[in-house]
């Protein structure tokens, strides 16, 4: 087994995988995960043609992996990719507007534009049209929620809800594309997203402090339960390689001295002995 040092790049990748595990665990125990699954299923199944496209993408994932191994020059070039990896771009973030006080008939309504009231946007000309369009979808009881680091899902539109506006993104003013959730049971579960995010953030700090003290991948695997599930595949392969020890043959003087020189050396040795030299 080859020794693999714990570089900062590897630490960051392991920490990102741990973060996804944390989100998954906390969401399940906070009753969030079932509602996320409902939303993703709705996105995938809401239209027969789009559902077919999702099925094709899932099948294509395996085919693409095989083709990329056979024809590496045809993939991975952002300027000219001969074999494209995606039919539908995957997403990992949901933008939701939680409001159980609105009609249940509005559940799963998608807003391509959504905006909280914002005085600066009211007054300025740039972007005001889009702001007003989004403001028309706002209700005073809305609770915007952004759920990040999900497993890949597909949608016929892009979620890009953001919490903040302004220079440095310091002003709380949710806006962007989001889906309205009005089902009371779903709202009750999804409203706890903020608590989960805080728990994950706290645990990540502790985890990174721990990783900074680890110098090799083997030590991490020996100490951390289920560590292999956090290690990127590339580093697993590096560690699995057998270390080939250098086997340098130690040569004897007999092997080094050529025959042509041995005769002369024997004469010198004989002469020294006759002269009494040791």
Can you give the pLDDT at residue 257?
67
Can you give the pLDDT at residue 192?
86
Can you give the pLDDT at residue 167?
64
Q: Which of 203, 171, 168 is nearest to 18 (CA)?
A: 203
pTM: 0.69
Can you give the pLDDT at residue 261?
67
pLDDT tens-digit profile, the chain (278 residues) = 678 888 999 999 999 899 888 888 888 787 889 999 999 999 999 999 999 999 999 999 999 999 988 988 888 766 677 888 899 999 999 999 999 999 999 999 999 999 998 888 877 767 788 899 999 999 999 999 999 889 999 999 999 999 887 665 567 788 999 999 999 999 999 988 878 887 888 898 999 999 999 999 989 999 988 889 999 888 888 888 765 565 666 777 777 667 766 666 666 666 666 666 55
Can you give the pLDDT at residue 73?
85
DSSP string for residues in the chain = ----B--HHHHHHHHHHHHHHHHHHHHHHTT-HHHHHHHHHHHHHSSHHHHHHHHHHHHHHHHHHHHHHH-GGGSS-SS--SS-S-SS--B--EEEEE-TTS-GGGTTEEEEEEE---HHHHH-STTHHHHHHHHTT--TT-EEEEE-SPPPB--SS----EEEESGGG-EEEEEEEEEEE--HHHHHHHTTHHHHHHHHHHHHHHHHHHHTT--BHHHHHHHSTTGGGTS-HHHHHHHHSPP---------HHHHS-HHHHHHHHHHHHHHHHTT--
Structure tokens at 182: 């009005």
How far apart CA 60 and CA 225 sit, in angstroms, is 34
């Amino acid at each position: 087994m080859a020794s693999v040092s714990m570089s900062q790049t590897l630490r960051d990748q392991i920490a990102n995988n741990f973060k996804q595990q944390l989100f998954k665990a906390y969401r399940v125990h906070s009753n969030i995960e079932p509602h996320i699954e409902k939303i993703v299923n709705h996105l995938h199944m809401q239209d027969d043609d789009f559902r077919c496209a999702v099925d094709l993408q899932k099948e294509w994932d395996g085919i693409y992996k095989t083709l990329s191994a056979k024809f590496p020059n045809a993939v991975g070039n952002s300027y000219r990719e001969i074999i494209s990896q995606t039919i539908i771009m995957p997403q990992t973030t949901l933008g939701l507007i939680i409001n159980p006080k609105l009609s249940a008939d509005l559940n799963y309504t998608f807003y391509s534009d959504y905006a909280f009231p914002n005085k600066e946007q009211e007054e300025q000309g740039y972007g005001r049209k889009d702001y007003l369009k989004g403001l028309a979808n706002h209700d005073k009881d809305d609770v915007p929620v952004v759920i990040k680091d999900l497993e890949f899902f597909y949608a016929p539109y892009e979620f890009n809800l953001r919490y903040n506006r302004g220079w440095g993104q310091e002003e709380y003013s949710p806006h962007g594309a989001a889906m309205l959730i009005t089902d009371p049971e779903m709202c009750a579960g999804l409203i706890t997203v903020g608590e989960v995010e805080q728990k994950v953030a706290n645990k990540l700090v502790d985890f990174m402090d721990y990783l900074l003290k680890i110098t090799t991948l083997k030590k991490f695997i020996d100490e951390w339960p289920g560590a292999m599930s956090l290690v990127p595949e590339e580093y697993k392969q590096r560690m699995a390689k057998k270390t080939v020890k250098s086997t340098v043959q130690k040569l004897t003087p007999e092997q080094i001295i050529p025959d042509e020189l041995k005769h002369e050396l024997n004469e010198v040795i004989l002469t020294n002995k006759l002269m009494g030299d040791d």
